[in-house]
C-alpha cells in the first residue's frame, strides 16, 4: 500500500500554500507563479498586494532580452498562441498597475507590445480585471499604449500628462471605462490655456461616469459646466489643484448664477481647493452640509478679513466639519512675509467650528501669534485630538514666541489631544514645575522640527517629562515644503545640532518611561474629576460666547 508524499499533500491545501506565499520575496513569488496553476493564484495575489513590475508579467509570455544600445527589452522569441492562453490565466489576477515612474514603461519596446497584440485574438484585453491604474508620461509615442490598459473593469485612474497629450483621452475613457469611480488628472507644467476640445471631452466624459465618487483636477479645468456636472453627482472627495505659477486665477463662475435641480454636492465629505474658490459666487456651494474634512490653500498675502469671512461661511454651512487644514502658499520670490494667521483668525475658526477635531496650519514661517496669545486660545482647543501650527517653520523669530511653558495650558484644557505640534523656542526652560493637574494623559506624538532652537536637551527633557504621557513620542518630522527643505540645506551644522538634541530628548523620555508610568494613575484620577467640573463650566461659557466676525 502506497502513501501520498507529504510534499504532494502540501500543494493540495490552498490555505497552507497561501500562508507560505506570505513569507516569500517577490522574485521567489514570480518563479512560483510560473510553476503551476495551483500555486499561481496565491503567489500572484501576494505579489499584487506588494506591487510587481510589468516585466515580471510579460516574462510569462516568454523570456525578455535587453537591447543595450536602445535600453529597451524585447521578446527573445515571438510568443505563440499557446503561451498567450497560459498568460491569460495569470493576467486575470492583475488588479493594479502603476507607471508613475517613466522608466517602468519606456524600458519595454514597442515591438514587445506589438508581439502581444499580434498573438492575442481580436477583442482580447491584456488585463481584464484591472481596477486601478497610475499613468505618468510626457511623450506621445508612449501615450499610444495607454488604451491597452483602459478597460471596462477600470475603477481608479491617476493620470499625469502634459496638456497637448490629453486630446482624445477623456473621450476614450468615457467609451472604455464608463464605471470609473476615481479620476485624478495632473498637468505637470504651467497651464495658460485649456483647449476647448479637451474641455468638451472632459464635460462629455463626466456625463458618462455615473458612479464617480472622487475627482482631482487642475483649477483651470473647473469651468461652469464641469462645476455643475460635479455638483449633481455623488462626489465624496473633490480636489481642485492650483495651477503652477498661476495661483489665484479668477473663479470662472464668480458672477454667474447657476440653477441646480437638487441640493449641490449633497454627498461631499472631503474638499481641497483655493480659499478664493469658496468665497466667490457659486463656489460657496462647495461648503456642503456633509463636509467633514477641508484643506484650503491660502496665499500669504491674504487679508485677515477674508479669513474671518471664510470662518463665518463654514459656521453657517458646514455642520459636520471636523478636520481643517490651512496650507499657506508663498511665491518663491515673495520674501519673508509674516504669516496671515493671527490670534483673531484662529479664534474665529475655533469658535465657528466647535466640533473641530483636527486643525493643521502649514507655513514656512511661524504663525503671527505670541506665546501669551496662544496660551489664551488653549480653552477653545478643548475638543481637538490633533493640533499642528507651523511645525516646519524656519522663518523670522517672533517677539515673545511660544515656549515650553506654552504647552501647559494645552495640557490642562485639551485632555483628548493625541498629536500636538507647536512652533516654539525651547532655549529657555521654565524654572517652575508645571501645575499638578496639567498633564497630557492621551498625547501620543509631540511634533518638533529641525528649526526649533534648543540648548540644554537634558533640562528640556526633564521639564517635558513632568506632564507628557509616558507613551508620548517626541517626533522629529521631515518637511514636505520646498521652501523649508531649501533653507535646511543652507543652515549647515547648527540645524543638525538642534535635531540631535531633540532626538536626545526623546531618548531621555523613553529611558524613564517605567518610572513615569507609576504616577499616571494618580494624574488620570485627578483629571477625571476636573473634567466633570470643567465640562459644566465650559457648557455655560459656550452659550454666552460672542462670535468675533
Digit-coded pLDDT (tens) for 28-84: 766 665 665 555 556 666 665 555 567 777 877 888 888 766 778 888 888 888 888
Residue 417's CB: how many other CB atoms inside 10 A?
24
Confidence at residue 245, expressed as pLDDT on a 0 to 100 scale: 35
| Three-state DSSP class for residue 273 | strand
| Residue 145 confidence (pLDDT) | 81
In angstroms, the CA 180 to CA 209 distance is 6
**456 band by pLDDT with thresholds 50, 70 and 90:** very high
Confidence of residue 499 (pLDDT cuts 50, 70, 90): confident
Write out the three cell numbers for 385.
485630538
Which positions ≥6 away from 247 have C-beta within 8 Å? 274, 297, 299, 329, 331
* Residue 107 main-chain phi, psi, to 5 deg: -75, -10
Question: Taking 50 as the threshold, does the pLDDT of residue 244 lie above it?
Answer: no
Q: Coil, helix or strand for 460?
A: helix
Contact predicate 419/387, CB 8 Å: yes
Range from 55-64, 253-262, 314-323, 492-501 carrying the lowest mean pLDDT: 253-262
H or E, element range at 38:
helix 37-50
Matching residue, cell 481580436 = 122
Phi-psi region of 389 (alpha: psi -120 to 50; beta: other; left: phi over 0): beta
Q: Tell me the mean pLDDT in the region 181-194.
A: 83
Give long-range contacts, CB 8 A cutoff, 24+ apart: 197-200. Answer: 197/167, 198/163, 198/166, 198/167, 198/170, 199/223, 199/225, 199/226
- 347 or 28, which is more confident: 347
Q: What is the pLDDT of residues 204-222, one digit of tens each?
A: 999 999 999 999 999 889 8
**C-beta of residue 381 within 8 angstroms of C-beta of residue 353:** no
Mean pLDDT of the chain: 81
State what percent of residues in the chain have pLDDT above 70.
Answer: 74
What are 291's three cell numbers? 463636509
Q: For residue 545, count other CB atoms closer than 10 A to its CB.
A: 11
Q: Encode burial over 43-61: b for 16+ CB neighbours within 10 A, e otherwise.
A: bbebbbeeebbbebbbbbb
Q: What pLDDT, on the 0 to 100 scale, is given for residue 58?
A: 81
Range of lowest pLDDT (103-112, 133-142, 251-260, 358-367): 251-260
pLDDT tens per residue, range 392-446 = 787 656 778 899 999 999 999 998 999 999 999 999 999 876 665 578 889 999 9
pLDDT at 538 over 80: no
CB 307 within 8 A of CB 298: yes
- Given a cut of 80, whether residue 197 has pLDDT beyond it is yes
Residue among 463, 455, 402, 401 at smallest CA distance from 438: 463
Residue bearing the bigger pLDDT, 312 or 135: 312
Q: What are phi and psi of 429, to 5 degrees?
A: -100, 120
d(CA 485, CA 46): 37
For residue 248, what pLDDT is reported? 36
Specify the pTM: 0.82
Whole-number Cα distances in Å, 240 to 215, 226, 247 = 8, 12, 12
Please state, in angstroms and rounded to a whole number, the distance separating the CA atoms of residues 424 and 366. Answer: 9
pLDDT of residue 249: 42
Placement of cell 463662475 in the chain: 253
pLDDT(88) > 90: no
Amino acid at each position: 500500500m502506497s502513501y501520498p508524499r507529504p510534499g504532494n499533500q502540501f500543494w493540495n491545501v490552498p490555505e497552507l500554500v497561501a500562508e507560505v506565499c506570505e513569507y516569500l520575496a517577490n522574485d521567489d513569488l514570480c518563479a512560483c507563479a510560473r510553476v503551476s496553476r495551483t500555486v499561481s493564484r496565491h503567489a500572484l495575489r501576494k505579489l499584487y498586494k506588494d506591487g510587481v513590475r510589468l516585466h515580471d508579467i510579460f516574462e510569462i509570455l516568454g523570456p525578455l532580452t535587453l537591447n543595450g544600445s536602445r535600453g529597451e527589452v524585447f521578446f527573445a522569441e515571438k510568443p505563440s498562441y499557446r503561451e498567450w492562453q497560459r498568460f491569460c490565466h495569470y493576467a486575470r489576477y492583475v488588479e493594479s498597475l502603476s507607471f508613475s515612474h517613466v522608466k517602468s514603461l519606456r524600458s519595454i519596446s514597442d515591438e514587445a507590445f506589438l508581439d502581444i497584440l499580434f498573438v492575442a485574438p481580436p477583442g482580447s484585453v491584456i488585463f481584464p480585471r484591472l481596477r486601478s491604474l497610475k499613468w505618468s508620461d510626457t511623450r506621445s509615442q508612449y501615450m499610444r499604449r495607454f488604451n491597452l490598459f483602459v478597460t471596462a473593469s477600470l475603477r481608479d485612474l491617476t493620470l499625469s500628462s502634459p496638456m497637448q497629450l490629453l486630446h482624445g483621452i477623456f473621450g476614450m475613457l468615457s467609451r472604455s471605462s464608463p464605471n470609473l469611480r476615481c479620476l485624478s488628472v495632473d498637468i505637470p507644467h504651467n497651464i495658460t490655456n485649456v483647449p476647448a476640445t479637451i474641455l468638451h471631452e472632459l464635460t462629455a466624459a463626466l456625463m458618462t461616469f455615473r458612479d464617480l465618487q472622487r475627482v482631482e483636477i487642475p483649477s483651470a479645468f473647473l469651468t461652469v459646466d464641469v462645476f455643475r456636472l460635479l455638483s449633481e453627482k455623488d462626489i465624496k472627495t473633490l480636489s481642485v489643484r492650483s495651477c503652477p505659477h498661476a495661483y489665484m486665477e479668477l473663479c470662472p463662475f464668480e458672477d454667474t448664477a447657476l440653477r441646480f435641480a437638487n441640493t449641490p454636492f449633497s454627498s461631499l465629505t472631503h474638499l481641497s481647493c483655493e480659499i478664493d474658490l469658496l468665497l466667490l459666487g457659486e463656489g460657496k456651494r462647495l461648503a456642503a452640509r456633509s463636509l467633514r474634512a477641508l484643506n484650503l490653500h491660502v496665499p500669504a498675502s491674504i487679508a485677515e478679513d477674508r479669513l474671518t469671512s471664510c470662518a463665518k461661511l463654514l459656521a453657517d454651512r458646514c455642520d459636520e466639519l471636523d478636520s481643517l487644514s490651512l496650507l499657506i502658499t508663498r511665491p518663491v520670490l515673495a520674501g519673508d512675509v509674516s504669516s496671515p494667521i493671527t490670534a483673531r483668525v484662529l479664534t474665529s475658526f475655533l469658535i465657528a467650528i466647535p466640533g473641530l477635531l483636527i486643525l493643521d496650519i502649514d507655513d514656512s514661517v511661524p504663525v503671527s501669534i505670541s506665546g501669551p496669545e496662544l496660551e489664551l486660545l488653549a480653552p477653545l482647543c478643548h475638543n481637538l485630538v490633533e493640533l499642528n501650527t507651523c511645525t516646519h517653520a524656519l522663518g523670522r523669530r517672533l517677539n515673545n514666541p511660544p515656549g515650553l511653558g506654552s504647552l501647559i495650558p494645552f495640557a490642562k484644557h485639551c485632555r483628548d489631544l493625541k498629536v500636538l505640534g507647536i512652533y516654539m523656542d525651547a532655549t529657555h526652560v521654565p524654572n517652575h514645575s508645571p501645575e499638578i493637574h496639567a498633564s497630557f494623559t492621551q498625547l501620543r506624538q509631540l511634533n518638533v522640527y529641525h528649526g526649533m532652537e534648543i540648548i540644554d536637551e537634558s533640562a528640556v527633557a526633564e521639564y517635558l517629562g513632568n506632564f507628557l504621557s509616558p507613551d508620548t513620542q517626541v517626533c522629529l518630522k521631515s518637511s514636505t515644503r520646498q521652501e523649508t527643505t531649501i533653507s535646511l540645506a543652507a543652515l549647515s551644522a547648527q540645524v543638525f545640532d538642534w535635531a540631535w538634541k531633540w532626538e536626545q530628548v526623546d531618548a531621555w523620555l523613553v529611558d524613564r518611561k517605567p518610572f513615569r508610568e507609576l504616577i499616571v494613575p494618580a494624574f488620570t484620577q485627578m483629571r477625571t474629576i476636573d473634567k466633570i467640573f470643567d465640562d459644566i463650566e465650559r457648557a455655560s461659557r459656550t452659550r454666552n460666547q460672542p462670535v468675533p466676525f
